[in-house]
Amino acid sequence: MCHFYCDILFINKESVFLYDKFENERGGFIKMAMFTINNMNMSLEGHTQAEILVSLAELATSLNLVVDRDSLVKDYQEREQESTTGFGNGIAIPHAKSNNVKTAAILFGRSTTDIEWQSLDGKPVNTFISLLVPANEGDVHLKLLAQLSRKLVHQDFVEILKRGDTREVLEIINASKNASFTLKHCLVTSSSQVL
């Protein structure tokens, strides 16, 4: 039986995770997505959409977030064929939900040149937020997309994504993941002590 719901932030030495907590008989936690400074590349290599997707896939592979780089590139490309992930204002949200993804994660990157992306506003892209979600975690995928989409209509959020330094981007993306608190905020350390 579910009594209440809240998002909590779980912090250990290397990672910051957003969790959904459901108060049930087991007191279980469902991991949302990982986003650390290691998940960022502020100078992605590539001059085309295909090259940028390869660069993002290489970043994911280097972080051991996926089983296979080429499979992630294929997942990205299949998603782009469904409809563009170019949100507008120079930002794209390439994403993949597949069995190739080991753990839910967010990647962030900027390209050194503007990339044609068939964006909703018809303009090129140079800022990328990539969402990676295992196939069996579709609810996480939808929730992350919804939270980011709501934030991307705010110009101050967009400006930090496009021009902020790594620390500012790290903080604003983690804050946006954390924006759906409903009843209470909980900060939990690796020793599970509630602060």
Indicate whether 21 belongs to any domain: no
Active site residue 154: no
Say what the pLDDT of residue 12 is.
33
Indicate whether 129 belongs to any domain: yes
- Tens-digit pLDDT profile for residues 9-33: 333 333 334 433 333 333 433 344 6
Could you say which of 3, 47, 95, 141 is catalytic? 95
Residue 180 tokens read as 């759906």
CB atoms within 10 A of CB 62: 12
With the C-alpha atoms ordered 44, 118, 93, 53, is the resulting torsion angle positive or negative? negative
Indicate whether 1 belongs to any domain: no
Higher pLDDT, 25 or 142: 142
Q: How confident is the model at residue 178 (pLDDT cuts 50, 70, 90)?
A: low
Look up the CATH number of the domain holding residue 46.
3.40.930.10
Indicate whether 97 belongs to any domain: yes
Q: Are 132 and 69 in contact (CB under 8 A)?
A: no
Indicate whether 193 belongs to any domain: no
Indicate whether 137 belongs to any domain: yes
For residue 154, the enclosing domain spans: 36-180
Indicate whether 143 belongs to any domain: yes
Calpha distance 57→132 (Å, rounded): 10
Calpha distance 176→188 (Å, rounded): 18
Indicate whether 186 belongs to any domain: no
The domain tally of the chain equals 1
For range 97-119, the mean pLDDT: 95
Model confidence, pTM: 0.75
